Amino acid sequence: MTTDSDSSVRLVRNATLLVTIGETTFLVDPMFASPGDNPPVPNSPNERRNPLVPMPDVDLSHDAVVVTHRHPDHFDEAAMEELEADVPLFCQPDDADAFTDEGFTDVRPVDDEVSFDGVTIHRTPGRHGHGQLAEEMGPVSGFVFESDETLYVAGDTIWYEPVEQTLGAFDPDLVVLNGGEAQFEQGEPITMGVEDVTAVRDATDAAVAVVHMEAINHCLLSREELRSETEDVLVPDDGSQVTL
């Protein structure tokens, strides 16, 4: 257990987060590989090996794990090997069997909502791109963590109506978006860019933080660009914490 009673989100790297609600900490989307251990994302505008940057020196202690989807920049082989087999692991139902097959013994698929240690975890919809490409990318989810405060981790999604509906339904205190405007050589971006982030900013009174940047080769939108083209948006560096 963490002894910090303040709700917060610490960006580790890419989409890897430590979400702390009261005294409970969730490790979200663990990617633990060292720089260059993983190949480039195929069909991308460059051939840089992933991840592009090292892990910051952050205490990764956690009470449970949440995986939004199983793309390798959200759950990788290094994380599979390092995590405790009996850690409570929350995921979308489509991914549960794969985690069980890998030896995890406390896999908890979230159809709608579950409770853990005084926190209600809601699974929310996401669309990983546009049109046919979104279908090919497979199912993705976001998660809302609800206790005294409410945190919405949107996952790999673009701005579309269900994201707006989630903001209205839960009225979160903090929203964490996956930016980077990840894209392939063909098709539209598959994660949020400036226009998506701005749409979220306009739709909610919550604090808005953007992660999923400068760590994977097909994420082309930089932190500097996002900061310069948005207002009232937090763009944390790796290792930084956003506290409510």
Least confident of 107-111, 131-135, 165-169, 188-192: 131-135
Domain assignment present for residue 36? The answer is yes
Domain assignment present for residue 240? The answer is no
The CATH number of whichever domain residue 178 belongs to comes to: 3.60.15.10
Residue 3's pLDDT band (boundaries 50, 70, 90)? very low
Domain assignment present for residue 3? The answer is no
- Total structural domains within the chain: 1
Question: By residue range, what is the domain housing residue 140?
Answer: 8-235
pLDDT in tens, 123-154: 999 999 999 999 999 999 999 999 999 999 99
Domain assignment present for residue 126? The answer is yes
Domain assignment present for residue 2? The answer is no
Domain assignment present for residue 164? The answer is yes
Domain assignment present for residue 167? The answer is yes
Domain assignment present for residue 244? The answer is no
- SS3 assignment for the chain: CCCCCCCEEEEEECCEEEEEECCEEEEECCCCCCCCCECCCCCCCCCCCECCCCCCCCCCCCCEEEECCCCCCCCCHHHHHHCCCCCCEEECHHHHHHHHHCCCCCEEECCCEEEECCEEEEEEECCCCCHHHHHHHCCCEEEEEECCCEEEECCCCCCCHHHHHHHHHHCCCEEEEECCCCCCCCCCCCCCCHHHHHHHHHHCCCEEEEECCCCCCCCCCCHHHHHHHCCCCECCCCCCEEEC
Residue 4's pLDDT band (boundaries 50, 70, 90)? very low
Classify each residue of 210-240 as buried b or exposed e, where b means 16 or more C-beta atoms within 10 Å of its C-beta.
bbbbbbbbbbbbebebbeeebeebbbbebeb
